[in-house]
Amino acid sequence: MHGYFMSKKISSQFEKECPICGGKIWGRGQKVLIEGAKITVCQSCAQYGVKIKNVPSAVNKVKQNYAKAKSSAKKKAYNRQIDGGLEIVADYVSKIRNARNSRGLNQDQFAQKLNEKPSLLRRIEAGKVEPTIKLAKKIEQVYGITLVKKVDEIEPSTTQNKYMKKSSSSSLGDIAIVKRRKK
């Protein structure tokens, strides 16, 4: 009889939250394609998308693993860095290039003054890598340009929409109004 009921800890592992309605997904849920996004939803929300059949092939797995490794490297380079309410300005590339050119320095001399690797500064000037907050502050200090700005935090509205659920976490259904699909 003791093994008949699952403990709360074990049963919570199997319960997931539906990203559309916020309800519990019992079992595996339904994998559907909604507006180009592949998501797992509850049975009642599965009607809003196209059901996806799982037919994994060896070639697709290799492609997925390659794409995953490739995209994770890019994400590190392009990640918007927010540190204590600060972020890098959008036109940092032109500001850095103009500061270097106005002083008549080449990229190696520019890097040497900052005590940084020339290859890093080349990638920053090419727009391939965003400087860290620390490096941006160093460039600001040495060359007198503005690269860091304060981030304005936007407070979410506290008014409850009739489509929103009352729990603390939000779901996709809280943000978007789901349209009925024509049959």
DSSP string for residues in 3-35? TTSPPHHHHHHH-EE-TTT--EE-TT-EEEEET
Residues paired with 150 in a beta bridge: 86
Amino acid at 119: S
Question: 34 in the Ramachandran plot: left (φ > 0), alpha (ψ -120 to 50) or beta?
Answer: beta
Alpha-carbon gap, residue 163 to 177, rounded angstroms: 8
24 phi, psi to nearest 5 deg = -80, 140
* Stretch(es) of the chain classified as CATH 1.10.260.40: 83-150
83-150, what's its fold?
434 Repressor (Amino-terminal Domain) (1.10.260)
pTM: 0.41
Q: Which is higher by pLDDT, 131 or 59?
A: 131
Residue 77 pLDDT greater than 50, yes or no: no
Alpha-carbon gap, residue 91 to 110, rounded angstroms: 19
pLDDT-based confidence at 155, cuts 50/70/90?
very low
Which pLDDT belongs to residue 104? 92
Which pLDDT belongs to residue 78? 42
Which pLDDT belongs to residue 123? 92
pLDDT-based confidence at 58, cuts 50/70/90?
low
- Give first-to-last CA distance, the chain, whole Å: 48
* Complete edge-to-edge strand list for the sheet that includes strand 50-51: 37-41, 30-34, 50-51
Alpha-carbon gap, residue 175 to 161, rounded angstroms: 9
DSSP summary character for residue 132: P
pLDDT-based confidence at 48, cuts 50/70/90?
confident
- E strand intervals along the chain: 16-17, 24-25, 30-34, 37-41, 50-51, 86-88, 148-150
Point out the least confidently predicted range of 52-56, 75-79, 104-108, 116-120. 75-79
Decide: 100 and 144 in contact? Cβ < 8 Å. Answer: no
Which pLDDT belongs to residue 159? 45
